[in-house]
Amino acid sequence: MENSHLLSPDSIKEKARIIRKKIIEMNSHAGEGHTGADLSETDILSVLYFHVLGVNAERTGDPDRDRFVLSKGHGAGGLYCTLSTAGFFDKSWLDTYLQADSHLPGHPVRQKTPGVEFNTGALGHGLPVAFGLALSAKKQNLTWKTYVLLGDGELAEGSNWEAAMAAAHYKLDNLIVIVDRNTLQLADRTETIMQLEPLSKKWEAFGFEVYYADGNDPEELLKVFQSLPADNGKPKLILARTIKGKGISFIEDKAAWHHRIPVGDEVYAAIKELE
């Protein structure tokens, strides 16, 4: 099925700006949140939900929809603000983020939130599940595609590489993996904690076709998604270079903002940068 928005790159950029504002407001209201991670993925999610993914907020259970798994489950806030903006639920829910029995828990829960496909939060789980989804589509001769967004820090989890090996073995060209390559994880630079580079070579060696994009540029991202060949027997990997905390100057590229929220004057300053 087709995406119900199919926005132009400029319109997607405007949506991303709105989503970033919501992230700042929601996280500061909740008093907690992974602000850096949410802002890092905003443009990728905007391109997916406003153009690429075959999804429709009115038909969340449609069996023909494309499936999206947020493997970096700590980016739940970014996903919620995107889903809300795309019409999956009322924006008033954002005020309940992290509250008791909220529809919007700290990590995605499919039983709680329309549009959420899978419960993540522990890292290294999304790719094996996405592999299973894509394989089930192949087994049943179904044309929907599976998209999964991985954080770069979680690539140290071995389960990713089990699934990567299997995705190539089963020739899953209906699987599109996106890595949010912001080079920061909870404690420090990814390369300081555990060297990932040469990252594209690793994916190539595992049998993926590797594509590159500025992960904070909706226009470039959209072009890459639209250029992906179908039916060539190879799973796809988009290495999306991003800036953690993208869009707010004092949050950008700082590990400290992985699990931090703007407080006091920071909220005003952040919103001002997004006006």
Partner 1 sequence: MKKGMRETMVDVMIEEAQAGTNLVVLVSDSTSTSKIKPFQEQFGDKVVNVGIAEQNLVGAAAGMALGGMIPVTANAAPFLLGRSNEQVKNDICYSETNVKLVGLNPGFAYGSLGPTHHSIDDISIMRGFGAISIYAPQDPRETANILRHVLHSEGPVYIRLDSVSVEDLAATAVGFLPGKLTVHRKGEQLVMLALGTSVHNCISAAETLESEGLHVSVVGVSSIRPVDYEQLEQILSAHETVLTVEEHSVHGGLGSLVAELIAERQLGTRLKRSGIDEGTFAPASPADAIRARYRLDADGIVASAKELAGKVKV
Q: How far is the CB of 264 from partner 1 (least distance, A)?
A: 36
Cβ proximity to partner 1, 9 vs 114, nearer residue:
114
Nearer to partner 1, 110 or 201 (CB): 110
* Identity of the residue, 65 or 260, whose beta carbon is nearer to partner 1 in the bound complex: 65
Q: Pseudo-torsion of CA 80, 81, 87, 88, nearest 10°? A: 0
Per-residue burial over 119-142, b if 16 or more Cβ lie within 10 Å, else e, is bbbebbbbbbbbbebbbebeeeee
The total number of residues shown for the chain amounts to 275
Q: Least distance to partner 1 from the beta carbon of 56, Å? A: 18
The least distance separating partner 1 from the CB of residue 233, rounded to whole angstroms, comes to: 17
Task: Decide whether 132 or 198 has the Cβ nearer to partner 1.
Answer: 132
Contact by Cβ (8 Å): 20, 12: no
Contact between 269 and 241 under an 8 Å Cβ cutoff? The reply is no
Taking the complex as a whole, the smallest distance from the CB of residue 144 to partner 1 amounts, in Å, to 9
Q: How many CB atoms lie within 10 A of CB 161?
A: 16
Residue type, 185: Q
Quick one: 170 or 212, whose CB is closer to partner 1?
170
What is the smallest separation between the CB atom of 42 and partner 1, expressed in angstroms?
25
Contact residues toward partner 1 (CB under 8 A) are: 63, 67, 110-111, 117-122, 124-125, 127-137, 139-140, 142, 146, 158-159, 162-163, 165-166, 169-170
Contacts of 215 (CB under 8 A, 6+ apart): 40, 43, 44, 178, 180, 181, 182, 221, 240, 241, 242
Comparison of 63 and 264: residue with beta carbon closer to partner 1: 63
Q: Measured from the CB atom, is 35 or 120 closer to partner 1? A: 120
Residue 129: which residues within 8 A CB-CB, separation 6 or more? 69, 118, 148
State in angstroms the smallest separation of the CB of 162 from partner 1. Answer: 4
Residues 6+ apart with CB under 8 A from 205: none
CB of 128: closest distance to partner 1 in angstroms?
Answer: 3
Give the single-character DSSP code of 257: G
Q: Are 274 and 266 in contact (CB under 8 A)?
A: no
